[in-house]
Amino acid sequence: MPLATMTNIGTATTSRSPATKSPCTRGQLRRNQAATDEAATSSGESELPEELLSFVLTHLAGMAVGGRATPELGEITLFEDGTDAAVLAETSRFARSWQRASSVSHRWRAAADEVQLWKVARKLVRGGQLDWSQLKETEGDKAAKCWQSSSTSREEGKDDSWHACTIPETGDETVLLVRKCSQEGVSYDIVRWIGCLQGMRHPCIAALQMVHTSHVHEDGLWSARVYAGFERTDTSLQEIVYGTLARTSHTVVGRPLPALMLRSFLYQLLHSLACCHARGISHGNLAPYRVLAKKLAGEDQYLLKLADFGFSPPTAALCNIDLPIRPSRASPELHADCQFKRYGPANDLWALGTVFAEVACGSRDPTVYMMIQELDSTDEPTLKNNLPMMGTDARNLLRKLLRAEPTDRITAAEALCHPYFEGIHEQCPVVAQYLPRSMPAAPSFLELRADAWQPGQDFLARQPELNRKMWGILYDWLSVVSYKFKFVPRSLQLACDYMRRYLMDTPIERKRLQLLGIGALCLACKHEEVMIPNMNDFIYICDNAYPLEELMAIEVEMLSSLDAQLHMPTVDDMLLPKLVEIGAALALPDADTADTTSPLRQWLQCVTLIGQAHYPVVLHDPAVLARCVATLGALLWCGQTTEVSRPDNGTLEESSTAGGPRPRGAPRG
């Protein structure tokens, strides 16, 4: 059939005479909606009592926003202790939950509009921007000054402002950081700070309460604006010791802390560090002015709050030549004479040891400072003479915190069991109330999972313009980009996780798929890398297919859509412990070569990369992929094995060949 004939047939089929009435009239739409409501009624939806419907929607709002609402008691709280930060944006989880509830029927829409948590959260964001008219700022509030004095960003020349605010409708109090970002997009320290604190629930860590990011046009330029709300505090450890929030020189003398108060403070800080380290996070820049506090009832009763995670060392800084930041209390492995600087939890313990000695003395005595730098070679009488206020157990703990070799340093979890803290729960009411013995241990980093995605979910099924082949092409291209920029493997795998979760809830056009991929990689490298490329470099690698403002916009949109859940375990993280167990990799970087890999580990990373480019593989949980790859690695490393892991965590007993299985480490022949 000629092409013209086919065109005419198609035209005749789809055209209507002027007398034919279009079915897409308003009356027909109303009838369709009525039919939908009638179907919902017949399915039992309308039989749901009003009180039960209100309770269900309030519960859904609380899960999405992170707050708490008990209408029968008149309590509405947007920032609830022990919950994730509320991400306020039109693409965040709270907005999606409201849209889904409202789309059920007119009745559900009316009920959802009356849910107080949703109502307050929607009022705070209007037109994609934070509505300041819904906040009441307290001028001259000390809480804002506490946070401003603790922030490292002022040393970096960042455009920050701190505001102590209250939400009148709920009575929630927060200290709001407003960061005006330039054409770098969302600043890397803000990305790291938010990513570390989202989901961090500990009474001695200053909680992240609210996050809002927006893409604004000012003075002819596009830029990002970040609003981060933090827990309100009253003072800082710096002020408790020295009487001022400002940073002081070594000549200023403060008050030595009483013995019980000193034990309480050290126990609280160790407990908070143990939680951070269990989640794979190091603070990286511990100092008295970065430890905030809440004043409790009673004399000298304080609950400490570890703050300012903006310069928490990323994965790429575990061992490198370039020093990403010079901590104010650098441990020996971070000194300039070390070719390879080793970052990690051990740095925090060294910094805490110096803080321990400082607050015990009430000053930064130069004699004490020089002594603790070489504490391994300091005899006990000298240490006792310089720190007479410390007992035997305190000096012993100080020595373990200040070991020169980081692998010999005591961990935070081990330090909590030191004899120095014996009887602390009976003697200190603050510790007994907020850090009881029954308090569950912090979840392991490898056990963390994002809320928005479950293994096996086909996220491309919700994308009408995308298919599996496009995923493979995109991931293959991103792996080349990651190799060109010399990113660590974790950055690429995090970008994969970000894209997967974003595509679960947000439809995207085919022409913007590459933009999504490079935006995810940009966000991941800001969270994980030391040397971060310029935003224009990412545009250049895309062959200038997108303008800079579109990349900045997708970064802001993705940060909100992911609910700021950026610090997630990857296959590479789960693979390392398994390779360490069979002796195929090092648990910590080597001080002489900075080598953390082995030929087997590099090969398995390539296998993982190839697998994740295959769409059915990427649907599995990272733990399953890590177990499969590690089993293959063990078979190759040991020649043969008596156990092979199964997906259900069981084992298959394999019979050995003639001569029996070869022991680990035996030469291959």
The Cα 254–Cα 243 span in angstroms is: 7
The pLDDT tens digits for 266-290 are 999 999 999 999 999 999 889 999 9
**Residue 73 placed within a domain:** no
**Is residue 279 domain-shared with residue 422, that is, in the same domain?**
yes
Are 511 and 486 in a shared domain? yes
Domain presence at residue 126:
no
Which range scores top for mean pLDDT: 5-9, 312-316, 472-476? Answer: 472-476
Residues 294 and 379 reside in one and the same domain = yes
| DSSP of 355-421 | HHHHHHHTB--HHHHHHHHTGGG--HHHHHHH-TTS-HHHHHHHHHHT-SSGGGSPPHHHHTTSGGG
Residue-by-residue DSSP string for 173-191 = EEEEEEEE--TT-S-HHHH
**One domain for residues 562 and 576:** no
* Domain co-membership, 514 together with 473: yes
Q: Of 409, 434, 459, which residue is a domain's last?
A: 434
Residues 278 and 392 in one domain: yes
Residue 81: pLDDT over 70: yes
DSSP conformational letter for 641: -
Residue 485 CB contacts under 8 Å (≥ 6 apart), including other chains = 525, 533, 537
> Is 661 inside a domain boundary?
yes
Q: Are residues 650 and 580 in the same domain?
A: yes
**Which pLDDT belongs to residue 38?**
52
Cα(119)–Cα(61) distance, integer angstroms: 10
Within 8 A by CB and 6+ apart from 509, the residues are: 465
Tokens of 526: 């800001």
> Following CA atoms 148, 152, 155, 157 in sequence, which dihedral angle do they give, to the nearest 10 degrees?
-80
Nearest-angstrom CA–CA distance, 351 and 333: 12
Q: Which amino acid is at 556?
A: V
Which residue carries 């491309």 as its tokens? 460
> d(Cα 160, Cα 230) in Å, to the nearest integer?
14
Identify the weakest region by mean pLDDT among 210-224, 506-520, 553-567, 649-663. Answer: 649-663
Task: Evaluate if residue 468 carries a pLDDT over 80.
Answer: yes
pLDDT > 60? residue 664: no
CA distance 76 to 94: 16
Q: Which of 502, 533, 568 is the last residue of a domain?
A: 568
Residue 121 one-letter amino acid: A
Q: What tokens appear for 124 in the block?
A: 């705070």
315 versus 357: which is more confidently predicted? Answer: 357
29, part of any domain: no
Rounded to whole angstroms, the Cα distance separating 490 from 493 reads 5
Q: Is residue 652 part of a domain?
A: yes
DSSP tag of 85 = P
- Number of folded domains in the chain? 4
CATH code at position 429: 1.10.510.10
Together in a domain, 540 and 558: yes
Nearest to 60 by CA among 110, 6, 99: 99
Residue 30 maps to a domain: no
Higher pLDDT, 662 or 543: 543
* pTM summary value: 0.85
Mean per-residue pLDDT, 635-639:
76
3-class DSSP state of 197? helix
Handedness of CA 398, 403, 408, 413 (dihedral sign): positive
Q: What are the angstrom distances between the C-alpha of 646 and each of 581, 603, 643?
A: 18, 22, 9
Reply yes or no on whether the pLDDT at 21 is more than 50. no
Which residue is associated with the tokens 């321990």? Answer: 356
Q: Closest by alpha carbon to 519, among 538, 492, 506, 532?
A: 538
- Give the confidence band of 559 by pLDDT, cuts at 50, 70, 90: very high
Is residue 594's pLDDT more than 90?
no
The confidence score (pLDDT) of residue 666 equals 35
269: DSSP letter: H
pLDDT bracket for residue 379 (50, 70, 90): very high
Instruction: Work out the average pLDDT over 622-648.
Output: 73
Task: Give the number of residues written for the chain.
Answer: 669
Q: The CATH number of the domain where 476 resides is what?
A: 1.10.472.10
The answer to whether 479 and 434 are in contact (CB under 8 A) is no
Task: Work out whether the CA dihedral 601, 607, 613, 614 comes out positive or negative.
Answer: negative
8 Å CB contact between 455 and 621? yes
Long-range contacts of residues 531-539, Cβ cutoff 8 Å, at least 24 apart:
531/316, 531/322, 532/188, 533/485, 534/184, 535/183, 535/184, 535/185, 537/485
pLDDT tens digits along 476-513: 999 999 999 999 899 999 999 999 999 998 899 999 99
Taking the CA atoms of residue 366, residue 370, residue 371 and residue 377 in that order, the dihedral angle to the nearest 10 degrees is -170
Q: What pLDDT does residue 237 have?
A: 95
- Which ranges in 182-341 belong to alpha helices (H)? 188-197, 237-242, 259-278
- pLDDT category, 663, cuts 50, 70, 90? very low
Whether 516 contacts 551, CB under 8 Å: no
Specify the pairing of strand 160-167 against strand 68-70. Answer: unpaired
If you average pLDDT over residues 242-269, what whole number do you get? 92
Out of 230, 262, 296, pick the residue that ends a domain. 230
- The CB density around residue 154, as the number of other CB atoms within 10 Å, is 11
Round to whole Å and give the CA distance between 35 and 29.
10
Alpha-carbon gap, residue 414 to 277, rounded angstroms: 12
Supply the pLDDT for residue 1: 37
Mean predicted lDDT score pLDDT of the chain: 82
Question: 280 and 381: one domain?
Answer: yes
CB-facing half-sphere around the CA of 518: CA atoms within 13 A: 28
pLDDT tops 70 at residue 95 = yes
Residue 12 lies in a domain: no
Rounded average pLDDT over 537-547: 93
Measured between alpha carbons, how far is 500 from 496 in angstroms, rounded to an integer? 6
Based on the domain organization, do 396 and 488 belong to the same domain?
no
- Can you tell me the distance from the alpha carbon of 344 to that of 161, in angstroms, rounded to the nearest whole number? 30
Whether the pLDDT of residue 448 is over 90: the answer is no
State the distance between the two ends of the chain, measured CA to CA, in whole angstroms: 70
**Both 594 and 610 in a single domain?**
yes
Give the residue numbers spanning the domain of 429: 248-434
Q: How confident is the model at residue 36 (pLDDT cuts 50, 70, 90)?
A: low
Q: Is residue 124 part of a domain?
A: no
Q: What is the pLDDT of residues 136-171, one digit of tens each?
A: 988 878 999 999 988 876 556 678 889 999 998 888
Predicted confidence (pLDDT) at residue 88 exceeds the cutoff of 60 = yes
Q: What is the mean pLDDT of residues 410-422?
A: 95
Tokens of 445: 């980093």
Same domain? For 529 and 601 the reply is: no
What's the distance, CA 306 to chain centroid? 16
